[in-house]
Amino acid sequence: MKELTRDEIFNMPAGIELNALVAGNVLQISDYEHIFHGEICIKCHRETDFHSGRIYPDNKRTCDIPDDYSADIAAAWLVHQMVVHKLFSVRQRYFEELQKLVSAECTESGKTVIAYPDVFIFVKPSHFCRAALLAVKE
């Protein structure tokens, strides 16, 4: 894992850097898939000719950009599902970090998270990603 401090991960904004770290370190994905809408990849904007199977301009079969785990709740839920199937110690760190992240943000906005299940009321996709990174970092 790229050496980041706990505070850097805790405060990392949603975006491509966080998505790439999650893909590589939590999901262990190095080659990203294209997601085509019509003939254009919605992530890297390469075009394809579905009849020939060619991807323009460079015929690159993998995408340069990971899925948007830190902003798309469906993609973030895949991260959550991956972590909850890891070792008990990783799961335990993950849920502790998730609670800390959500509680810190809620406290800033005047809300109070009292118990673990309350976390899921206020959770954001970026919380799943940062908690997963913090859990696998140890």
pLDDT in tens, 68-117: 999 999 999 999 999 999 999 999 999 999 988 888 887 777 777 666 67
Q: What is the pTM of this model?
A: 0.79
DSSP state for residue 41 in the 8-state scheme: E
Classify burial at 9, counting beta carbons within 10 Å of its beta carbon; exposed 0-12, middle 13-18, buried 19 or more. Answer: buried
Residues 6+ apart with CB under 8 A from 15: 70
Any idea how long the chain is? 138
| Cα 82 from Cα 94, distance rounded (Å) | 11
From residue 22, give the alpha-carbon distance in Å to each of 16, 49, 79, 107, 133.
10, 31, 8, 26, 6
Tens of pLDDT, residue by residue over 118-134, are: 777 888 999 999 999 99
22 three-class SS: helix
Instruction: Give the amino acid at 110.
Output: G
Instruction: Give the amino acid at 8.
Output: E
For the chain, what are the domain ranges?
Answer: 1-28+67-138, 30-65
